[in-house]
């Protein structure tokens, strides 16, 4: 594999980093709309995303009819697990343990996907994974062991935030793996834009079941007054447009230009951007524990990616820039990450 064999690095790498930065930006949602509860935020964000998806499906009715019932149900299921499950768990983690904690926990996603892949494909000896697992574990412990002076979360909240962040990472890792396998088995029958919109519509429908929790979850209603409503709506639109469609556009552009050996480690930058945005939002510098813990998490992710790349797990797929910015990439496991 040579550098020249994968043209477009000057476009692909910035595009991939932009996508992860936009996903990291979504971690600000819970803090930005507080004290409105996170259930309202999830419902609002995916209501906007659902409307966008519905418009796309109306414009692609022929492609929608080409999908069989099983694929439609799979898309809806993935929308509920990968979108509602992931973002709700992440938002709750940020609410209890802080945005930096929740952001750092997403650094587990590339490693989780890699471990599951190794379990099913048995490419790398488990003993070789010992070091990256230990490095990431120490990093997460460091991030969560030192609280800044202005953080009010008690020990119980931090433990719950940690557990919710782990579950959020597991939900998204599950989504990445199942989505990739579905696309690989069905290509080229599935149109990427239609598939993305079906998942978005599923996320919207799934979010409606959170309405009772939103109404009883405490905190003010976003409809209480104009001063609360308009910022809330603005954030819902921003999260749906930037964190879903735009992030996907950049990610899939990058996926058609970069090999999976590059895309895998890059997705770990989502945790870095998320933590950085939260630090900017809180107006402070990282603590010693947060800084070095975060660096250890990133180092562990890169080390695991390097080991698997050498073992030949992440293999480049053919470059197929179809001009469809919403067509999900199906290269290697870590590279498959449609929008949230």
Predicted pLDDT of residue 15: 84
Over residues 96-138, the pLDDT tens digits come to 877 777 877 877 777 787 777 777 766 677 787 788 878 877 8
Runs of H (alpha helix) within the chain: 9-25, 29-33, 38-59, 61-66, 69-78, 86-97, 99-105, 108-121, 130-145, 155-186, 192-207, 211-216, 226-240, 247-255, 260-267, 269-282, 288-311
Residue 238 has pLDDT above 60, yes or no: yes
Cα angle 108, 113, 117 (rounded to 5 degrees) comes to: 145
Q: 334 and 260 in contact (C-beta within 8 Å)?
A: yes
Across residues 245-260, what is the average pLDDT?
70
> Of all residues in the chain, what percent carry a pLDDT higher than 90?
10
Residue 340 has pLDDT above 70, yes or no: no
pTM over the 0.85 mark: no
Name the more confident of 251 and 173.
173
Predicted pLDDT of residue 2: 46
Q: 311 and 338 in contact (C-beta within 8 Å)?
A: no
Check residue 312 and report its DSSP letter. Answer: T
Residue 233 has pLDDT above 70, yes or no: yes
CA distances from 182 to 25, 39, 78, 185 (A): 28, 29, 10, 5
Predicted pLDDT of residue 87: 82
Over residues 134-176, the pLDDT tens digits come to 887 787 777 766 555 455 557 788 888 889 989 998 998 888 7
Cα angle 151, 156, 162 (rounded to 5 degrees) comes to: 80
Predicted pLDDT of residue 152: 54
Name the more confident of 327 and 236.
236
Mean of all residue pLDDT scores within the chain: 77
Across residues 329-334, what is the average pLDDT?
36
Residue 3 has pLDDT above 60, yes or no: no
- What is the rounded distance in angstroms from the CA atom of residue 180 to the CA atom of residue 16? 18
Residue 230 has pLDDT above 90, yes or no: yes
């Amino acid at each position: 594999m040579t550098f020249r064999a994968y043209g477009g690095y000057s476009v692909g790498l910035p595009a991939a980093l932009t996508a992860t930065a936009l996903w990291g930006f979504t971690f600000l949602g819970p803090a930005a709309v507080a004290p409105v509860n996170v259930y309202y935020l999830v419902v609002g964000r995916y209501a906007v995303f659902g409307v966008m998806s519905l418009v796309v499906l109306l414009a692609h009715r022929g492609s929608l009819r080409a999908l069989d019932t099983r694929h439609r149900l799979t898309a809806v299921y993935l929308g509920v697990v990968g979108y509602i499950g992931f973002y709700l768990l992440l938002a709750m983690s940020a609410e209890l343990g802080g945005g930096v904690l929740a952001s750092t926990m997403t650094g587990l996603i590339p490693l989780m996907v890699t471990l599951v892949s190794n379990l099913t494909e048995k490419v790398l000896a488990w003993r070789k994974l010992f070091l990256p697992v230990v490095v990431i574990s120490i990093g997460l412990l460091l991030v969560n062991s030192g609280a800044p002076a202005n953080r009010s979360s008690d020990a119980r909240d931090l433990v719950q935030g940690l557990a919710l962040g782990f579950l959020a990472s597991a939900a998204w890792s599950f989504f990445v793996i199942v989505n990739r396998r579905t696309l690989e088995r069905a290509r080229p029958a599935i149109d990427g834009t239609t598939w993305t919109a079906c998942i978005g519509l599923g996320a919207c429908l799934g979010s409606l079941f959170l309405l009772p929790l939103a109404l009883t979850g405490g905190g003010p209603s976003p409809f209480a007054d104009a001063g609360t409503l308009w910022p809330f709506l603005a954030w819902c639109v921003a999260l749906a447009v930037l964190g879903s469609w735009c992030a996907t556009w950049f990610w899939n552009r990058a996926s058609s230009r970069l090999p999976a050996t590059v895309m895998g480690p890059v997705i770990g930058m989502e945790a870095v951007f998320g933590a950085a945005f939260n630090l900017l939002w809180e107006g402070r510098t990282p603590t010693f524990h947060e800084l070095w813990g975060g660096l250890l998490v990133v180092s562990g992710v890169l080390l695991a990616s390097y080991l698997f790349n050498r073992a030949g797990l992440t293999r480049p797929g053919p470059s197929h820039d179809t001009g469809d910015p919403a067509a999900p990439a199906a290269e290697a496991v870590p590279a498959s990450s449609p929008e949230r």
